Amino acid sequence: MAASGAGKTFEELEVAFRHGNFAPLYFLFGEETFLIDTLQQLVITHALEPAWRDFNLNIVYGDEVEASAVLALCRSLPVMAPRRVVIVRNFDSLRDNRQFAAYAEHPNPQAVVLLVSPGRPNLNTQPYRALQTHAVWAELRPLKPAQMPAWITRYAQQEGYQLTPEALQQLVAYVGTDLQAAVQELQKLFTFAGRRTMLTADDVVSVSGQTRAFNVFELQRAVGEKRYAEAVTIMEHLLRHASNPRSEALRIVSVLTTYFMKLWRLTLCQAQRLPEKAIAARIGVPPYFLQEYVQAARRYELPAIRFVLAALLAADAELKGESERDPHLVAHLLLRQITAAGQGVQRQNHLVRTFL
């Protein structure tokens, strides 16, 4: 097998797999397990017909088998099928996996072998150096916030749907960079929409179980515009009607963290005098919504944004920890800290001490 050179992207592998174009050996690693799992399923679906899988599909775990046994599977010929598929999960935990350095040079041409490692192994050691030279490899990293709109748009289009700009903005704010959550919300949207192929902001709100007047996106907008009394009303409504107030509080913290991270990146981009189109791409919002963020960044100076992000981090840690404080109280104290930041960084310390 010829040297593969640079690693492949998820999109390149996805297109190849969907078209039935397979190499004999793949090495997939990285922290974005959702993308890795998706590629594994695509191989199973497109490399083997269902009738062939009983005798030609092997999925093993590196911490449960011996390297010699796995290599025997990889070298086996298919049974009444054009190829066999072997998937080795937790490949980095496979004892004596150095033996795959030799296999990488002469892989079985009648097999499709996927070696999968969560995280990033030491690529300077064997067998990883040989795999990077002879196998098709890819490092699947978590997406950055600016990459999420394009990813969600592409996923929806593959399923035959489109999102309005407002719906896309709200969904990105809702799921952050969690691809699993994005797919779950999109699947709910597809079911909710039925035969409609255009998904709207109202759809996103309805599927999230909230209302047009009281939802986390209106809360974000109220905070961005410093309408704090309205923000308190919306937040209290969300927490009071939530089946799990702690989970709802965490969702509010997540959405607001994503929002203020975008304001922080926008402020840095403006300092670099980047054009508006580049800024929109960098912070991950459609260009037609950029002015909404520009106006919010004018209301919150950079020191205030940093102060808010620190408060959000502390609230997130408290809600996920063993704190006995009621999530309503944690959320309200957080909103008061945001209010303090919005009223001027010189008053923040005094106000926060007063609230706490």
Q: CA 135 to CA 228: how far, in whole Å?
A: 56
Domain coordinates in residue numbering, the chain: 10-139, 148-355
5 — pLDDT class (breaks 50, 70, 90) = low
Provide the H-helix boundaries in the chain.
10-18, 33-47, 53-56, 67-75, 100-105, 128-134, 148-158, 165-175, 179-193, 201-207, 216-224, 228-240, 245-271, 276-283, 290-299, 302-320, 327-342, 345-355
Q: Which CATH number fits domain 10-139: 3.40.50.300, 3.30.450.30, 3.40.50.150, 3.40.50.2300?
A: 3.40.50.300
pLDDT over threshold 50, residue 42: yes
Least confident of 3-17, 265-279, 302-316, 338-352: 338-352
For residues 142-162, give the mean pLDDT.
Answer: 93
Q: What is the pLDDT of residues 111-132, one digit of tens each?
A: 999 999 999 999 999 999 999 9
pLDDT over threshold 60, residue 355: no
For residues 138-154, give the mean pLDDT.
Answer: 92
pTM, rounded to two decimals: 0.77
pLDDT over threshold 60, residue 354: no
Lookup result for tokens 């909710």: 192
For residues 181-189, give the mean pLDDT.
Answer: 94
pLDDT over threshold 90, residue 323: no
pLDDT over threshold 70, residue 347: no
136 — pLDDT class (breaks 50, 70, 90) = very high
Q: What is the pLDDT of residue 349?
A: 47
345 — pLDDT class (breaks 50, 70, 90) = very low
Range ranked top by mean pLDDT from 17-31, 167-181, 211-225: 17-31
Q: Backbone phi, then psi, for 66, in 5-degree steps?
A: -100, 150
CATH number of 148-355: 1.20.272.10
For residues 22-36, give the mean pLDDT.
Answer: 97
* Contact predicate 29/120, CB 8 Å: yes
Q: Across the chain, what does the average pLDDT equal?
A: 91
Q: Which of residues 175 and 3 earns the better pLDDT score?
A: 175
> C-alpha distances in angstroms, 196 versus 189, 192, 212?
10, 9, 20
Q: What is the pLDDT of residue 92?
A: 96
